[in-house]
Amino acid sequence: MRAFIFPGQASQFVGMGKDLLDLGPQARAKMEFANERYGGTLLPTMFEGPEEKLRQTEFTQPAIFLCSVVLTDVLRERGVEFAMAAGHSLGEYSALYAAGALDFEPLFDLLKLRASLMQHSGEKRPGAMAAIIGLDKDRIAELCAQSGKIVVVANDNAPGQVVISGEPEGVAQVGELCKAAGAKRVLPVNVSGAFHSPLLEDAAAELAPAIEQASWRDALIPVVMNVSAQPRRVAAEIKADLVRQIISPVLWVDSIRRMAAEGVDEFVEVGPGKVQAGIIKRIVPDAKVVSVGSRAELEEFLAKL
């Protein structure tokens, strides 16, 4: 059984999507629509940089989403079947598009709002994130609770790879506690706020009405959601999970394991980079994992079907 997996932040690179612009009129229309929504600045930033601008959340998120959606369209047009979908953080929006839960334009506008709110979240409530390498998630959660600060496990990305998020002093303190407890490395994450933590409650409150008011449909296939690690198809359940997403942990290990338990044995990463391909191999070593992030990779994948 095949599943489509969609990447989140850290998969971007200057030049992304440039080779996808001429995939067809549908691809060009979507990319031009997205560029217009950004006053003509999105595609130039994707294609030419500078890298510092592309790394800004308000550009990174729509850029990755746009590439994932354009590639999804081609895969569907060529009859590539998939039985489930999931996406890491912003990738969840790509997964919901792939599953037919909402059309491209309203989803893009939702993600644009999300990206803006997350980009500017640190202005209201300064936050930080750090990756903890080589320490058990439950142990890290215990250390977060001991800190006395707002610090939580934000992303359970892979066995031995966990991201914490919260108040800057608390993240620094928990990082030191993790080192003392045996963590191999503690790496600061270059983001504008404390994503997937309670510090984004104001952003979540601003995003919630837009999510609620969108014209959601029941998904055509199950989407395993970040918040619950459960497959969802009913529109009301999808909305409820999505509203909570930016203040809740990304349960990625549980999500991928749930998909494997449901019978998924082939994961196709649809979007730029190969971050998720590497992570999934660590979670489900026996699974077949393929990355389709460029025109060349797309053509190679289709040629092997």
**What gap in Å lies between CA 277 and CA 215, rounded to an integer?**
32
Q: At a CB cut-off of 8 Å and minimum separation 6, what does 123 contact? A: none
**CA 62 to chain CA mean position, Å:** 11
Phi, psi of 210 (to 5 degrees): -65, -40
Residues 219/238, Cβ–Cβ less than 8 Å? yes
**226 Ramachandran zone, left/alpha/beta (phi>0; psi -120 to 50):** alpha
3-state DSSP call for residue 84? Answer: strand
**Is 227 in contact with 241 (CB distance < 8 Å)?**
yes
Q: Kindly list the distances between the CA atom of residue 263 and the CA atoms of 92, 157, 284, in Å, as whole numbers in the listed order.
A: 20, 21, 12
DSSP tag of 250: B
Token pair for 102:
């909402």
Distance CA 216, CA 210 (A): 11
The span from the first CA to the last CA of the chain, in angstroms, equals 14
The alpha carbon torsion through 83, 75, 220, 290 (nearest 10 deg) reads: 30
Please list the alpha-helical segments (H only) found in the chain: 25-37, 42-48, 51-54, 57-77, 91-98, 104-119, 121-124, 137-146, 168-180, 201-213, 235-244, 252-261, 275-283, 295-303
Catalytic residue among 88, 94, 196, 294: 196
Task: Write out the two tokens for 156.
Answer: 């359970």
Among 11, 89, 165, 291, the one annotated catalytic: 89
120 is an active site residue? no
Tell me how far CA of residue 147 lies from CA of 135, 259, 293, 305, in angstroms: 17, 34, 40, 52
Q: Which residues are catalytic?
A: 89, 196
